[in-house]
Structure 1
């Protein structure tokens, strides 16, 4: 019973099963969906050049796995990959005011530093700039007007207050 995985363990904490060995005479083993995951993260210590990207990756991924993942799934040229483990830490309850669920231990993660090749460049978008928020407000107003017009398209003879 010690080798059983609990049902409620999240996918990102589960171990990846070993790929079955190919034996002569059997059909070729195929994997249609990748069982690893990668999360794009910003590097907050210093500003990176446009051809460098950091990923938080599955703990069992190797350098070769990261390179093949990006090249085969996303068609991105990769020059160099380096990985390291970022150690976890424990929040002291008195030092930071947080909700009770957020307090506690932050687990260690594995990080991959990828240097992109060719013409591939990446910059994080500025999601919360004042300029983009104003544009989003205008877009939302336009969208609400269109939705109000399209609300009763199947009943054009009825006034809108009947819907």
Structure 2
């Protein structure tokens, strides 16, 4: 279903029109641990279970066994002036894949432990050097605060 209005007739031939749906889906990393064949999506509020199933099958060729949806209510906040505002509600869809298929959330920023350890050691050495230069520069001024420099 589209809310975009198109004219019934346009001058010229051929009648070139593109009908775009208002539906969207966003893959979300689950906060709670789930089975490997369950995938969590954030979907538009207008989508039904049938729409979600058709969307996945027609566009991405992903078969689904079961689809469950829930609506998470947005938080309510009170301003300093006394106004109450509410964030938008979010609709979540939990799609169960067929038996034998599993989905692992991709690791977008892989880093090995050794590289991380080397970076930490390098930053520690730089901090030690800068501290030693600070101490050497201020060893003649014992009673002055550290922020007071020339």
**What interval of TM-score do these two structures reach, taking the shorter chain for normalisation?**
0.5 to 0.7
* Structure 1 gap ranges (5+): 1-14, 19-29, 95-103, 135-163
What are the within-5 Å matches in structure 2 for residues 1-163 of structure 1?
A: 16-17=2-3, 33-44=20-31, 46-90=32-76, 105-117=86-98, 119-131=100-112
TM-score, with length taken from structure 2: 0.55
Mark the CA change 1:132 to 1:31 in structure 2 (over 3 Å): closer, same or farther.
farther
Cα-to-partner distance string for 1:50-71 (whole Å, 9 max, x where unaligned): 1101111011000000001001
Please identify the structure whose Cα radius of gyration is greater. Answer: 2
Mark the CA change 1:133 to 1:37 in structure 2 (over 3 Å): closer, same or farther.
farther
CA-CA distance at 1:133 after TM superposition: 10
CA distance in 2, matches of 1:84, 1:70: 18
SS in 1 for 2:112: helix
| CA-based RMSD | 3.4
CA distance in 2, matches of 1:77, 1:32: 25
CA distance in 1, matches of 2:23, 2:114: 35
Mark the CA change 1:58 to 1:92 in structure 2 (over 3 Å): closer, same or farther.
same
CA distance in 2, matches of 1:105, 1:132: 42
CA distance in 2, matches of 1:87, 1:124: 25
CA distance in 1, matches of 2:30, 2:40: 7
CA-CA distance at 1:109 after TM superposition: 0.5
1:57 touches 1:111 (CA, 8 Å); kept in 2?
Answer: yes
Runs of 4+ in 1 over 4 A off after TM superposition: 30-33, 91-94
CA-CA distance at 1:48 after TM superposition: 1.2
TM-score, with length taken from structure 1: 0.51
Cα-to-partner distance string for 1:109-134 (whole Å, 9 max, x where unaligned): 11111101154321112233422995
* Structure 2 gap ranges (5+): 5-16, 116-150
